[in-house]
């Protein structure tokens, strides 16, 4: 017979736990009703859901209110479901069978299953034996052959303990004693930080920690071991008399992180051992010294702090050392070893950023990025040195320090900022000599040639509701640029740049204020033709100071106004195919008329230098980024897109388009960097007919994806192109292949600035969890592999390690080619390290 002890309001809730026959169910309910009558008959104890610790007393004059948990039980209540249950005084004894017929009990938000259970209602002590299973409110499951718990579950004893956290980590011990609410001692311990494959009984855990004794400190949230053997795939690989790591439930805790070990020619053998110090839930420090056998160590430190309104992350490094590297002094292609040179000096860097919300509309932030010498990141292989934080981003190999404030609402936006830039780029004037001076040292771009931007203001506002049936947007912009050193192009137009020495000439300063009005309305005809008439009005005022003496003027003010009107037209056509396929054809066109653009020769080209002609920018009114370059006159742009879909998950698309204007625009031509007497058009917009834009995507299957973009001239010659294809096969095999080309520079010979690169990355598993990984970048223009990496890989659900060889032969490296061995290690529970050579800018 099974007896169910439950409060009346719990009976229906628990009834669906088992599905017995009708007669058996009636018998259980009758037994439950009998137990419910015990307090009424004056028996010491509690009701069906036995109220632990409540002494018998006369019925109170007023009702007693008790807070109930999610399961309906009060904090001192007990629910029992068992084959047989009896009560002797304050003790409830319950017996069950095996497997699903075990005793089921609920108390103090915990669930207990066992073959036998005893619970003292007065003291709250619980004892259980036989296939014991205890589930805590956070989902942690404890298994044992015997278990004893005291009042409040603060202490206890377990035999043959096994527990699994919600994250999948498993901890087993022959015996366990919970000495207090926070301290547990375990003997003959086995800890597995990752889930074990239950479908394969012969599978070995990826990583195990076997110890003679362990202490789990829940207040410290750490597990400390004695006499530890670390096994990988069941094979012992490491022994230590002492080991500590955070509890698996800990998001972060003080302690050592996984070290980073690698070897590089300049540095020698390097070991970086990060130590995380958690100050509070909102603050921590990361100390990460990097010790090298060939050069002085580098200390890296990171501080993170979260405030009520925002976050600050500050990262820095310091060393006191000489320079080091290899240089090709005689130009024969072989680097002469020059390991140490120069004087020892203080070398450091700082990379910091912060962002704060003042209220729902306003926020402010900053970045502080500086390095003492331009080669430090390369020499010491500093990870993730170039990141995008803040309102404005520095380009590749440039650091930006800024402060900004933003206000954004549903209909308006305002930003005010100021920033300065430090360049770590090589000086393009020395490209012919591999960016080296006569002594063989790399020559870098001067920071004095870059402007101080203070302030830069951007504002937008849209009135609520339509204006003349369309959307109206008002914009404003202002910027002030200050330079210390003279720069020719792009601060001065090509025709203003004069040959000869420029040392001592002042840097040209400029200020600009812009106002703009943009109105656009969308209309769709009954046939589905989409019309978008628009009006665009813009006014600019420039003030230029410190012009070079050879121009004959020191300063000037230039103003210009452009008014444009036009219409965008598109006609999407859709046709389904038999089955699940379809095709969408979308021809589109734009006609615009403007007054002729005023491109005064004194207006500097500061914010319109980098331009990418694609299917989006092709139809913009202002196709150049920024404000310094603009277009005028009449212009007609046309294109078409075709999209094919089939088998639900497969698709391909193709776009082709170009633009035509009334006349050529010579102002868009710029000088060739290595021969300023020649001009070329990197934008593809300088001539009457623009370059052709071809762009497409292709997803032939769920496992393969691709994308390409190309710009061609009238003869079909590729001027720029980029393509990427990636895919995966098997369960974990994957690969990606990318191609990029810039063939717009007309200068013949090795000094042209054209480039062509192929990049590949792949991993292939050969046997079980073992595989190989390959990464590489090839410079097709110079017939040189600039970066390459080959590694041996082991990867399972919680453990990944790569050991391999890499070579870096990029032109920007000041120390010449570098080779080395890398080790990357990642554990699902403890995090990981890894060699990260990515530059996000």
Which tens digits make up the pLDDT trace of 143-164?
A: 898 888 876 666 788 888 888 7
- Supply the pLDDT for residue 290: 94
On the CB side of 103, CA atoms within 13 Å amount to 30
Sign of CA dihedral 425, 427, 428, 430: negative
- Supply the pLDDT for residue 722: 95
- Supply the pLDDT for residue 695: 96
Grade residue 747 by pLDDT with cuts at 50, 70 and 90: low
Does residue 35 register a pLDDT over 80?
Answer: no
Does residue 8 register a pLDDT over 60?
Answer: no
Does residue 20 register a pLDDT over 60?
Answer: no
Does residue 72 register a pLDDT over 70?
Answer: no
What is the end-to-end Cα distance of the chain in Å, rounded?
72
Give 539-580 as a 3 state SS string: EEEEEEECCCHHHCCCCEEEEEEEEEEEEEEECCEEEECCCC
Q: How far, in Å, are 147, 161, 240 from residue 174 at the CA level?
A: 12, 6, 21
Does residue 45 register a pLDDT over 70?
Answer: no
Grade residue 29 by pLDDT with cuts at 50, 70 and 90: very low
CA atoms of 502 and 493, how far apart (whole Å): 16
- Express as a percent the part of the chain with pLDDT over 90: 37
Residue 9: closest CA among 92, 69, 84: 69
Does residue 36 register a pLDDT over 50?
Answer: no
For the chain, give the mean pLDDT. Answer: 81
- Supply the pLDDT for residue 466: 92
- Supply the pLDDT for residue 161: 87
Residues contacting 112, CB < 8 A, separation 6+ = 103, 104, 105, 106, 126, 128, 132, 133, 134, 135
Does residue 562 register a pLDDT over 80?
Answer: yes
- Supply the pLDDT for residue 751: 59
- Supply the pLDDT for residue 18: 35
655 vs 106 pLDDT, higher one:
655
Q: Which helix (H) or strand (E) holds 208?
A: strand 207-217
CA atoms of 78 and 87, how far apart (whole Å): 13
Tell me how far the alpha carbon of residue 806 is from its chain's centroid: 24
- Supply the pLDDT for residue 21: 29
328 vs 94 pLDDT, higher one:
94
pLDDT digits 0-9 by tens, 803-831: 999 888 776 665 566 788 888 877 655 54
pTM, two decimals, is 0.75
Q: How far, in Å, are 546, 548, 602 from residue 553 at the CA level?
A: 9, 8, 11
pLDDT digits 0-9 by tens, 726-737: 999 988 899 999
Peptide bond into 455 cis (omega under 30): yes
Average pLDDT over residues 561-574: 96
Does residue 331 register a pLDDT over 70?
Answer: no
Grade residue 401 by pLDDT with cuts at 50, 70 and 90: very high
- Supply the pLDDT for residue 151: 65
Average pLDDT over residues 663-679: 79
296 vs 823 pLDDT, higher one:
296
Give the lowest-confidence range in 89-93, 295-299, 414-418.
Answer: 89-93
User: For 470, which DSSP code?
Assistant: B
Cβ-contact 112, 134 below 8 angstroms = yes
CB atoms < 10 A from the CB of 114, how many? 27
Average pLDDT over residues 596-621: 89
- Supply the pLDDT for residue 806: 87
Burial 795-828 (b: 16+ CB within 10 A, else e): bbebbbbbebebbbbeebbbbbebebebbbbbbb
- Express as a percent the part of the chain with pLDDT over 70: 82
CA atoms of 663 and 693, how far apart (whole Å): 20
Give the lowest-confidence range in 304-308, 421-425, 767-771, 823-827.
Answer: 823-827
Average pLDDT over residues 701-725: 92
Does residue 328 register a pLDDT over 60?
Answer: no
pLDDT digits 0-9 by tens, 500-530: 777 788 889 999 999 999 999 999 999 899 9
- Supply the pLDDT for residue 693: 96
Does residue 363 register a pLDDT over 50?
Answer: yes
pLDDT digits 0-9 by tens, 267-290: 888 999 899 998 998 999 999 999
Does residue 2 register a pLDDT over 50?
Answer: no
Grade residue 54 by pLDDT with cuts at 50, 70 and 90: very low
pLDDT digits 0-9 by tens, 224-259: 889 999 887 778 888 889 887 777 667 677 878 878
- Supply the pLDDT for residue 126: 83
Does residue 17 register a pLDDT over 80?
Answer: no
Q: DSSP strand E in 74-125: where?
A: 77-82, 84-88, 91-95, 103-107, 110-114, 116-120
CA atoms of 380 and 299, how far apart (whole Å): 11
- Supply the pLDDT for residue 444: 86
- Supply the pLDDT for residue 30: 25
- Supply the pLDDT for residue 543: 96
């Amino acid at each position: 017979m099974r007896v169910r002890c439950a409060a009346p309001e719990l009976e229906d809730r628990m009834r669906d736990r088992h599905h017995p026959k009708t007669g058996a169910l009636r018998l259980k309910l009758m037994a439950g009703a009998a137990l419910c009558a015990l307090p009424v008959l004056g028996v010491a104890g509690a009701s069906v859901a036995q109220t632990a610790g409540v002494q018998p007393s006369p019925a109170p004059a007023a009702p007693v209110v008790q807070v109930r948990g999610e399961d309906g039980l009060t904090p001192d209540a007990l629910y029992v479901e068992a084959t047989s249950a009896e009560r002797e005084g304050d003790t409830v004894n319950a017996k069950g069978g095996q497997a699903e017929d075990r005793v089921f009990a609920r108390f103090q938000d915990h669930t207990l299953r066992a073959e036998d259970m005893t619970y003292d209602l007065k003291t709250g002590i619980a004892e259980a034996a036989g296939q014991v299973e205890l589930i805590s409110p956070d989902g942690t499951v404890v298994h044992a052959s015997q278990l004893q718990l005291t009042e409040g579950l603060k202490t206890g004893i377990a035999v043959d303990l096994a527990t699994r956290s919600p994250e999948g980590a498993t901890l087993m011990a022959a015996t366990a004693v919970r000495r207090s609410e926070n301290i547990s001692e375990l003997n003959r311990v086995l800890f597995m930080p990752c889930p074990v494959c239950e479908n394969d009984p012969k599978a070995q855990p990826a990583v195990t920690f076997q110890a003679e004794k362990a202490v789990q400190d829940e207040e410290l949230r750490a597990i400390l071991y004695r006499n530890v053997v670390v096994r990988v795939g069941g094979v012992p690989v490491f022994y230590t008399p002492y080991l500590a790591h955070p509890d698996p439930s800990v998001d972060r805790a003080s302690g050592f992180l996984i070290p980073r070990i690698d070897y590089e020619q300049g540095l020698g053998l390097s070991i970086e051992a990060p130590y995380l110090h958690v100050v509070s839930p909102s603050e921590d420090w990361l100390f990460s010294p990097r010790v090298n056998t060939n050069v002085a160590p580098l200390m890296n430190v990171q501080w993170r702090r979260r405030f009520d309104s925002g976050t600050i992350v500050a990262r820095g490094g310091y060393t006191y050392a000489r320079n080091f590297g290899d240089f090709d002094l005689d130009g024969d292609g072989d680097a002469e070893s020059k390991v140490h040179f120069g004087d020892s000096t203080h070398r450091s860097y700082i990379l910091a950023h912060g962002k704060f919300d003042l209220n729902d509309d306003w926020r402010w932030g900053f970045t502080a990025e500086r390095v003492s010498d331009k080669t430090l990141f390369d020499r010491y292989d500093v990870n993730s040195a170039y990141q995008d934080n803040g309102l404005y981003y520095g380009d590749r190999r440039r650091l930006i320090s800024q402060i900004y404030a933003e206000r954004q609402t549903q209909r308006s936006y305002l930003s005010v900022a100021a920033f300065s830039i430090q360049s770590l780029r090589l000086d393009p004037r020395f490209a012919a000599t591999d960016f080296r001076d006569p002594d063989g040292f790399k020559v870098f771009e001067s920071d004095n040639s870059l402007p101080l931007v203070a302030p830069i203001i951007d504002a937008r506002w849209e009135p609520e509701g339509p204006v003349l049936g369309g959307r109206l947007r008002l914009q404003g912009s202002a910027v002030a640029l200050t330079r210390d050193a003279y720069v020719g192009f792009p601060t001065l137009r090509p025709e203003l740049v004069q040959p000869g020495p420029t040392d001592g000439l002042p840097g040209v300063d400029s200020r600009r204020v812009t106002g703009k009005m943009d109105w656009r309305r969308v209309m769709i005809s009954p046939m589905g033709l989409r019309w978008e008439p628009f009006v665009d009005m813009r006014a600019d005022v420039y003030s230029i100071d410190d012009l070079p003496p050879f121009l004959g003027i020191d300063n000037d003010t230039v103003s210009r106004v452009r008014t444009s009107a036009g219409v965008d037209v598109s006609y999407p056509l859709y046709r389904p195919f038999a089955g699940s396929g379809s095709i969408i054809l979308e021809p589109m066109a734009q006609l615009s008329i403007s007054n002729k653009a005023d491109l005064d020769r004194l207006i500097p080209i500061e914010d319109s230098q980098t331009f990418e002609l694609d299917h989006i920018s092709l139809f913009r009114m202002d196709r150049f980024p920024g404000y310094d370059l603009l277009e005028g006159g009449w212009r007609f742009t046309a294109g078409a897109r075709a999209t094919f879909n089939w088998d639900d998950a497969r698709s391909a698309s193709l776009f082709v388009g170009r633009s035509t204007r009334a006349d050529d625009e010579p102002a868009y031509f710029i000088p060739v960097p290595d021969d300023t007497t020649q001009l070329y058009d990197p934008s593809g917009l300088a001539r009457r007919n623009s370059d052709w834009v071809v762009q497409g995507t292709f997803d032939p299957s769920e496992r393969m994806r691709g994308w390409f973009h190309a710009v061609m001239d009238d003869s079909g010659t590729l001027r720029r192109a980029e393509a990427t294809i990636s895919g995966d096969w098997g369960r974990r095999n994957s690969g990606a292949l990318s191609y990029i080309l810039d063939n717009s520079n007309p200068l013949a010979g090795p000094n042209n600035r054209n480039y062509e690169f192929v990049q590949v990355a792949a991993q292939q598993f050969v046997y079980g969890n073992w595989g190989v990984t390959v990464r590489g970048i090839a410079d097709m223009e110079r017939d040189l592999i600039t970066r390459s990496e080959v590694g041996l890989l082991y990867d399972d659900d919680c453990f990944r390690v790569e050991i391999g060889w890499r070579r870096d032969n990029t032109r920007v490296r000041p120390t010449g080619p570098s080779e080395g061995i890398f080790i990357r290690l990642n554990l699902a529970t403890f995090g990981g390290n890894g060699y990260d050579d990515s530059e996000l800018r």
